Amino acid sequence: MAEVHTERRERLRARCAAAGIDAALVTRPVNVRWLTGADAVQALLLTRDGVVLAPAEGVHPEQGAAADQPEGVELLRAAPGADAAALLAARCRGAVLGFEAHDLTVLRHHAVAAATGARLTDLEGAVERLRAVKDEDEIAQLRIAAEIGDQALGELLESILVGRTERHLAMELERRMVDHGADGAAYPVRVGSGDHSGRAGHRATDRRVEDGDFVTVALGACYRGYRTSATRTFVVGLAPADWQVELHRQVFEAQRAARESLVAGAAPDSAELAARRVLDAAGLLGEVTGQGIGLEIAEAPRLGLQELGKLDNRVPVTVAVGVHLPGRGGVRIEDTLVVRPSEDGGPELLTITTKELLAL
């Protein structure tokens, strides 16, 4: 557990103190990881002056969790099968115990309530909000994750695509990302060809890539827990059709406008508004999506039209624009970038692989 995790816990402690919360019981795995840096911890209790960690089942308390255990960090010794959250709650000495109502199930909440004399109150996503702004170490991991995805995609594009199934191409990309040092894929790689191209969330099928197809690939690597995502659309064959060139250009322009809007201080709806202006002018109906990315592929903040507030510096986000023409296919382009102040040159693009319309 490095200093950075001590500092993160300090920030959570300050938030809790400001909200009148004496101790925080954190159970959501991704939040536990962010606060401890350890995979092998299943829950933690953050008190005013220390922290108690519950090792994951099957992990010996001596192992993994905290070989370089700093002062104030205590390990819970729990019998297998016991609910760690309840055991931690029993250690709360304060009057008000914060918990994660969006993670703890009703069953576990019962056990927690029975184990503590403290009043339980929802932390209301406090850890997720702290996680939105990344430190430079986290951004460095994201840069590596993005580079791995770029490499895997670049290699695939040098091979023959015609005749291979979407599923095969997806598997190969996942393997290549691992070969380049990824923990794994950030999410199942999506490959959509022909009529499947240009859609968000399309799952790879046994359809074989044909000459003249649009092919949309969405992929991202997970590197030391940090995930990125990029989507690109190509044409298979020597010469793209005119409609393909035109559609690709329009989606590219819309996504570029969205991307460039993402400077520190911008409103969360700026990306969607910018993309819609381009799509509307072209008379296209499209899908514009965006959100934070880091330990999760979709985390705070959201970039939709209903969102309030302002974008902070050092917030990594994805921004995607897709247009699908039923029966023909479509184009989707997505990047991961980091919100930066305009005086520093604006958003930092992490997924730098080309967005040109390649004919393969």
Q: Among residues 37 and 347, whose Cβ is nearest to a copy of itself? A: 37
Please give the full DSSP string across 30-56, using - where no structure is assigned: HHHHHHH--SSEEEEEE-SS-EEEEEP
- Look up residue 73 and give its amino acid: V
Q: Among residues 147 and 174, whose Cβ is nearest to a copy of itself? A: 174
**Smallest distance from a copy of itself to CB 42, Å:** 14
Number of residues that make up the chain: 360
Please give the full DSSP string across 236-303, using - where no structure is assigned: -SSS--HHHHHHHHHHHHHHHHHHHT-BTT--TTHHHHHHHHHHHHTT---EEEEEE-SSSSSEEEE-
How many CB atoms sit inside 10 A of residue 90's CB? 15
Task: For residue 102, state whether it binds a copy of itself (rule: CB under 8 A).
Answer: yes
Task: For residue 299, state whether it binds a copy of itself (rule: CB under 8 A).
Answer: no
Find the binding residues for a copy of itself in span 154-183 (CB under 8 A).
Answer: 167, 171, 175, 178
Task: For residue 195, state whether it binds a copy of itself (rule: CB under 8 A).
Answer: no
**Smallest distance from a copy of itself to CB 306, Å:** 9
Q: What is the Cα–Cα distance from 154 to 3, expressed in whole angstroms?
A: 37
Judged by CB under 8 A, the stretch of 6-14, 46-54, 96-104, 227-235 that binds a copy of itself is: 96-104
**Smallest distance from a copy of itself to CB 231, Å:** 16
Q: Among residues 172 and 253, whose Cβ is nearest to a copy of itself? A: 172
**Smallest distance from a copy of itself to CB 171, Å:** 6
Judged by CB under 8 A, the stretch of 6-14, 100-108, 141-149, 333-341 that binds a copy of itself is: 100-108
Q: If you search the block for the tokens 């557990």, which residue do you land on?
A: 1
* Binding residue for a copy of itself, selected from 70, 163, 201, 265, defined by CB under 8 A: 201
**Smallest distance from a copy of itself to CB 40, Å:** 11
* Binding residue for a copy of itself, selected from 3, 49, 58, 79, defined by CB under 8 A: 58
Q: What is the Cα–Cα distance from 65 to 134, expressed in whole angstroms?
A: 23
Token pair for 280: 């509307």
Give SS3 for 1.
coil
Task: For residue 122, state whether it binds a copy of itself (rule: CB under 8 A).
Answer: yes
- Residue 159 vs residues 104, 154, 155, 294, 360: alpha-carbon distances, Å: 47, 9, 7, 30, 9
Task: For residue 119, state whether it binds a copy of itself (rule: CB under 8 A).
Answer: no
Positions touching a copy of itself (CB under 8 A) are 58, 99, 101-107, 109-110, 122, 167, 171, 175, 178, 184, 188, 200-201
